[in-house]
């Protein structure tokens, strides 16, 4: 099984640790993992701003680069949702579109759904607050959104809970948006900031030591607020915790 590692552009540039954790998690499963270095960005920022003409060439590049693999895996629900749910409008008639769409997975769902693994060896003896990143939750259906009256599940939570010593804290609003939202964070900075502070406060009142999420974009926004306000809360991507990394300072 040849896995193409899809590392979001801003993770590549700003959060290499998250990319390494993802790589290690996959390699430990005995998979052949390759990072095609030609990759840059899936095109989501342009697409979500409404600029389809700017997003399309990036979507085309993505399909060309990743069509050679059996699976494409990314530590991001948001970028995977872009490929799975929003490429149709941009590159729906591309010869590689359907195949790449069907084999592109977010890291946790790749473990639970494709590898059928729900237990990760390792320990993380900390109190952890899980921020349910919206696109992984509501666009990929990686868990039950609180609005829906269906059976409760969460692919990310299952994996985290399998670690020894971990304690997941209970939030008062289990899946409210952090307020990142791409260009929303800048264009609607006031609301975005208030949303972020409210999320952080929820994790604090729940007694979390570490705030984690499946999308580094949410965490970039939240950790930006945490650093600015000197809040005692660590921020880690789910992949870092699952890979057994130490708590980052």
DSSP string, 42-103: -SHHHHHHT-HHHHHHHHHHHHHHHTTSSEEEES-HHHHHIIIIIHHHHHTTSTTHHHHHHH
How far, in Å, CA of 36 to CA of 16, rounded?
A: 15
154-183 binders of other proteins (CB under 8 A): 173, 175-177, 179-183
Closest Cα to residue 222, out of 21, 212, 171, 206?
212
91 touches other proteins (CB under 8 A): no
Phi/psi for 55 (5° steps) reads -80, -35
Q: Which position among 32, 40, 99, 167 is part of the footprint of other proteins (CB under 8 A)?
A: 40
Task: Name the segment binding other proteins (CB under 8 A); options: 31-39, 91-99, 109-117, 160-168.
Answer: 31-39
**Minimum distance of other proteins from residue 94's CB (angstroms):** 16
Q: What string marks each residue from 183 to 202 as x (binds other proteins by CB under 8 A) or -? A: xxxxxxxxxxxxxx-x----
Q: Which position among 26, 41, 120, 163 is part of the footprint of other proteins (CB under 8 A)?
A: 41
Query: Sign of dihedral through CA atoms 11, 12, 16, 19?
Result: positive
CB 97 within 8 A of CB 87: yes
Task: Name the segment binding other proteins (CB under 8 A); options: 94-102, 204-212, 220-228, 237-245.
Answer: 220-228
204 touches other proteins (CB under 8 A): no
237 touches other proteins (CB under 8 A): no
Cα separations (Å) of 3 from 23, 56, 162?
10, 24, 24
139 touches other proteins (CB under 8 A): yes
116-135 binders of other proteins (CB under 8 A): 134-135
**Minimum distance of other proteins from residue 180's CB (angstroms):** 7
Angle between helices 189-205 and 216-228 (to 10 degrees): 80
**Minimum distance of other proteins from residue 8's CB (angstroms):** 10
99 touches other proteins (CB under 8 A): no
**Minimum distance of other proteins from residue 187's CB (angstroms):** 6
45 touches other proteins (CB under 8 A): yes
DSSP string, 34-47: E--TT----SHHHH
Q: Which position among 3, 6, 23, 31 is part of the footprint of other proteins (CB under 8 A)?
A: 23
35 touches other proteins (CB under 8 A): yes
52-81 binders of other proteins (CB under 8 A): 52, 54-55, 57-58, 61
């Amino acid at each position: 099984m040849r896995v193409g590692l899809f590392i979001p552009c801003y993770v590549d540039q700003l959060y290499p640790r998250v990319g390494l954790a993802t790589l290690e998690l996959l390699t430990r499963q005995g998979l052949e993992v390759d990072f095609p270095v030609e990759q840059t960005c899936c095109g989501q920022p342009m697409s979500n701003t409404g600029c389809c003409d700017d997003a399309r060439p990036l979507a085309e590049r993505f399909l060309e680069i990743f069509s050679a693999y059996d699976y494409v895996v990314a530590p991001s629900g948001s970028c995977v949702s872009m490929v799975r749910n929003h490429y149709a409008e941009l590159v729906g008639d591309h010869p590689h579109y359907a195949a790449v769409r069907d084999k592109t997975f977010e890291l946790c769902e790749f473990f639970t759904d494709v590898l059928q693994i729900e237990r990760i060896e390792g320990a993380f003896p900390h109190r952890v607050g899980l921020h349910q990143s919206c696109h992984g939750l509501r666009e990929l259906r990686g868990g039950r959104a609180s609005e829906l009256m269906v059976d409760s599940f969460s692919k990310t939570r299952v994996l985290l809970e399998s670690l020894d010593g971990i304690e997941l804290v209970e939030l008062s609003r289990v899946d409210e948006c952090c307020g990142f939202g791409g260009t929303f964070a800048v264009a609607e900075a006031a609301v975005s900031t208030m949303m972020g502070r409210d999320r952080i406060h929820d994790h604090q009142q729940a007694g979390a030591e570490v705030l984690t999420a499946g999308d580094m974009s949410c965490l970039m926004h939240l950790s930006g607020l945490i650093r600015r306000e000197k809040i005692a809360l660590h921020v880690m991507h789910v992949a870092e915790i699952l890979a057994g990394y130490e708590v980052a300072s």
